[in-house]
Structure 1
Amino acid sequence: MKLLLKNATRLTESNVAENVDILIVDKYIKEISRNISDDTAQVVDCENNMVFPGFIDVHIHLREPGGEHKETIESGTKAAARGGFTTVCAMPNTSPVPDSEESVKALLNKINESAVVRVLPYAAITKDLNGEVLNDIKQIADMGVFAFTDDGVGIQTADLMLRAMKEAAAANVSVVAHCEDNSIVYSGVVHLGNVSDRIDLPGIPSLSESVQIARDVLLAEATGAHYHVCHVSTKESVRVIRDAKKAGIHVTAEVTPHHLLLNEDAVLKDDTNYKMNPPLRSKEDQEALLTGLLDGTIDFIATDHAPHAESEKAKGFLTSPFGIVGLETAFSLLYTYLVKSNKITLRQLVDWLTIKPAEVFGMPYGKLKEKEIADITIVNLEKETKVDKHKFHSKGKNTPFDKWEITSKPVLTISEGKIVYKEDIHD
């Protein structure tokens, strides 16, 4: 199979835009140069469009098995392809939980049957995500899982996290953590601050996140494990991670598009499209997250794509589930509201969605180079439209960004040399 991308514009390593053709043979990029000709290849004219490495998202929820009414591997990966993502890493909050050889093998089989793009599954740190019984990390790691996490539940005891990190270090796999000390969450559903007072809802203190990160970076130092912090949301967390990196501890971190683009002031009423965990924090926290991303304290961006059924989200802030979707809007929103406002550069945005997560986790993806795997995303940076949740390929429509105006849109996604999403590229 051959695919020839003509007249594409790419960013060079020196951040200069140049026009190139890209010849793909089977799963690999065969040649990148000008004026390539091949009469046996399928030709796609990419004139006036940018070409990037396929985007990588290390934090999504596919819900299958067990939560197919929210999302399936097929629908979630179709959403990923529409958003320009060619590699996604699926969290283990499924039923059954991938916490044994049998359940991991079954999940890998489902992925092979249904996934439109590459899916790298997490395995659970503890049995059934119960935070009590440590799984056999070495045995499960040998099956090729991406990393280990208990997803939306912080590991509550230092002893358990210490043992998990020791085993992960020995197996050369990463520990990925949702950081939250349950003893000081106080049944909160929004940030403890202006918003909790304004709409009279119980608040989640910033300290519940940062205090657990502080504990864990010291455990990572003691064990030598790679410790990765999910969806950082507070200025205190940024400070702890920055100090840990300065001390030489192997800690990395991610931030979500919604925490970069929104803060607690956006929550005007009991609208559960704004209910996520960690919650939208203060304006000062939001500014600290962008600063941390720019100075390298935070390594990259991940969506925490978390689809739910509309009936579940309709229950109100107190009882509805946490989470919003993000795969289909991430690039367009970040480009429109951060790149076009000159807060970040296009090169930085692309790196945070490609090469940076690949480097952190040692993945051979995120590169637009000859002889590399042909994971490619083509984006029309001039396309003006609005977010329309009814057009999502995801089953989840739970987004606070519906009807937001955006400039730019992924129009063609190629995974391992195969076109997995395409719309009118010159519309």
Structure 2
Amino acid sequence: MSVWIKNAKMLGQKEGLIPAEIYVKDDKIKAIGQDLQIKDEDATVIDAKGGLVTPGLVDVHVHLREPGFTYKETIETGTQAAARGGFTTVCAMPNLNPVPDTADKFAAIQQLIKDTAIIKVKQYAPITENLRSDVLTDQKQLLAAGAFAFTNDGVGVQTAGTMYLAMQEAAKNNAALVAHTEDDSLLFGGVMHKGTRSDELDLPGILSVTESTQIARDVLLAEATGCHYHVCHVSTKESVRVIRDAKRAGIHVTAEVAPHHLILIDGSIPTDTAIYKMNPPLRGAEDRAALIEGLLDGTIDCIATDHAPHGEEEKQGGMVGAPFGIVGIETAFQLMYSNFVLGGVFTLKQLVDWMTVKPAALFGMESGTLDIGSQADIAIFDLENEYEIRSEDFLSKATNTPFTGWKVKGETLYTLVDGKVVYTK
């Protein structure tokens, strides 16, 4: 099987866009140039229509909800949605039912992925049994079963001793430990960021230190154990400061930020509506500025969506009692491009790197490159035409996003995995 992408543009060495053609055969990129002379009458020709061709996007933080919550999302629908967003590799969180905390349970999920995913899915295993316990999982067995890394995403590891022992084991196994940082003792029933807007809406607030104090604890534990410690969905200025200081100290800490925390603040919340309820919550303007600065100076390493689908009824009404989370995998590149690249805050190369090269490199993945010989995981985006984000266009089962109705550029035209077209507009 071979594919010939013509009439495309790609990022040149000095940032600008240059004309490009790409020839793919046997799952690999065989040639890149501006006027390829390929003798292959059987090649499928894709007219990129002047669109931007990039490595397939890589998302290290998604929720596919299967098994256990298939009314929210399935591996099939979640990967279809990811392909529509231009993603070719996603890393799925283990807050499922059953939690994949044994090799047998993990193998069952791996089979579901093999049977139904249309893109590449790397599955996380939990740090502790059933996520909320202090009993460590058997990391060696889970790694042998195919675990990508270890996380209790959705809940913070509450006991320092548990985290220390988990990091010790991860360091021995050369595995990354990925943390949702949240101190339950500091939650106080909060549903949104503690600030002026929470007071105006008369809603219980979530303190910034709920997140940042656990990061402060964990970076020192990472230093003591030599573990690769990765922080999920950073949201506060204090967290950015702690991570920056830890990196300067030589601690192996990396971090991600979600598009919604870069674009919105708590003041963006119009009323008490669950569509804006997410964890961590939308923070203040100073926090958003710190996140942007953290990306630009390398404190934060990559962008990840934290795609978190929920049933329609679950996200109707107010925040109290509703689940945390929004969907984002079909709109992430488009929102980031429209708000920050067109807004002059980030360059296009920076954005592409944060969504391809950087997340892949953090975890030693083969994904995220667009070179001769690399796997043919490719996305093509239309940077010119504006369109409206509409829930009826989503391929995800869920539509819980505050960005419905927003107008953006950067629509995905094609997504290819191993040279096979898995999405086309």
State the SS of the aligned residue for 2:385. Answer: strand
Kindly, what percent of the aligned residue pairs are identical? 55
AA in 1 matched with 2:21: D
Matches within 5 A, 1:307-318: 307-318=309-320
The residue that corresponds to 2:117 in the other structure is 115
- Say yes or no: does 1:34 pair with 2:47: no
> What is residue 299 of structure 1 aligned with on the other side?
301
Q: Is the 8 A contact 1:131 1:156 kept in 2?
A: no
Alpha-carbon contact 1:187-1:202 (below 8 Å) kept = yes
1:389·1:402 contact (CA, 8 Å) conserved in 2? yes
The residue aligned with 1:362 is: 364
Which stretch of structure 1 is more off in the superposition, 17-26 or 32-41?
A: 32-41
What whole-Å deviation, never above 9, does each CA across 1:88-115 have from its counterpart, x for those lacking one?
A: 0000011111111101100000000000
Quote the residue 2:212 is aligned against.
210
Please state how far the C-alpha of 1:220 moved relative to its aligned partner: 0.2
The separation in 2 between residues aligned to 1:342 and 1:142, in whole angstroms, is 45
Q: CA-to-partner distance for each residue in 1:371-414, whole Å, 9 max, x for gaps?
A: 00000000000121111012100011000000001122111000
Question: 1:59–1:90: 8 Å Cα contact kept in structure 2?
Answer: yes
Q: Which residue of 2 aligns with 1:8?
A: 8
Equivalents in 1 of 2:317, 2:142: separation in Å? 37
Q: Which residues in structure 2 correspond to 1:273-422 (within 5 Å)? A: 273-422=275-424
Matches within 5 A, 1:7-406: 7-36=7-36, 37=38, 38-406=40-408
Q: For 1:136 and 1:407, locate their aligned partners in 2 and report how far apart those are by CA, in whole Å.
A: 45
CA deviations on 1:106-129 (whole Å, 9 max, x unpaired) are 000000000010000000011111
Q: What displacement does 1:315 show?
A: 4.5
Distance in 2 (alpha carbons) for counterparts of 1:286 and 1:194? 16
What SS does the corresponding residue of 1:30 show, helix, strand or coil? strand
Is the CA contact 1:413–1:422 (under 8 Å) kept in the aligned structure 2?
Answer: yes
- SS of 1:129 mapped into structure 2: coil
CA distance in 2, matches of 1:111, 1:212: 32
| Alignment RMSD (CA, Å) | 0.8
Tell me which amino acid in the other structure corresponds to 1:210. S
SS at match of 2:423: strand
Output one character per residue of 1:142-173: Cα deviation in whole Å (capped at 9) or x when no partner.
22211100011000010000000000110111
Q: Secondary structure at the match of 2:61?
A: strand
The CA deviation string for residues 268-301 of structure 1, in whole angstroms up to 9 with x for no partner, is 2111110000000000001000000000000010
Code of the aligned partner of 1:404: W
> AA paired with 2:387?
T
Q: Which moved more, 1:150-159 or 1:127-136?
A: 127-136
TM-score by length of 1: 0.98
CA distance in 1 between partners of 2:337 and 2:286 (Å): 22
Confirm or deny: 8 A CA contact 2:61 2:307 kept in the other structure. Answer: yes
Which amino acid in 1 is paired with 2:60?
V
> In the TM superposition, what whole-angstrom CA distance separates every residue of 1:194-226 from its partner, at most 9, and x where no partner exists?
121010000000001000000000000000000
Moved more, 312-321 or 249-258: 312-321
Contact 2:132–2:157 at 8 Å: present in 1 too?
Answer: no
The answer for unaligned runs of 5 or more in structure 2 is none
SS in 1 for 2:31: strand
Shift of 1:354: 0.2
Counterpart of 1:371 in 2: which secondary structure? coil
- Contact kept? 1:6, 1:44, Cα under 8 Å: yes
User: Which stretch of the first structure deviates more once superposed, 152-161 or 27-36?
Assistant: 27-36
Contact 1:199 1:268 in 2 (8 A): no
| Counterpart secondary structure, 1:382 | coil
Does structure 2 retain, via aligned residues, the 8 Å contact 1:98–1:123? yes
SS in 1 for 2:53: strand
Give 1:14's aligned amino acid: K
Partners of 2:387 and 2:21 lie apart in 1 by 28
Cα deviation digits, residues 179-208 of structure 1 (max 9, x gap): 000001101000011121010000000001
Question: 1:15, CA displacement in angstroms?
Answer: 1.5
**Quick one: which amino acid aligns to residue 178 of structure 1?**
H
Query: One-letter code of the match for 2:284?
Result: S
1: CA distance between counterparts of 2:257 and 2:133?
24
Q: What is the SS of the residue equivalent to 2:135?
A: coil
Please list the CA deviations of residues 222-251 of structure 1 after superposition, one character each: whole Å capped at 9, or x if unmatched.
000000000000000000000000000000
Cα distance in 2 for partners of 1:240, 1:176 equals 16
Query: Would the aligned equivalents of 2:377 and 2:419 in 1 still touch at CA under 8 Å?
Result: yes
**Structure 1 letter corresponding to 2:259:** P
Which is further off, 359-368 or 37-46? 37-46
How far apart, in 2, do the equivalents of 1:4 and 1:411 lie?
A: 15
1:77–1:115 CA contact under 8 A, matched in 2: yes
For 2:282, give the aligned amino acid.
L
Structure 2 counterpart SS, 1:56: strand
Q: Structure 1 stretches (4+) deviating beyond 6 angstroms?
A: none
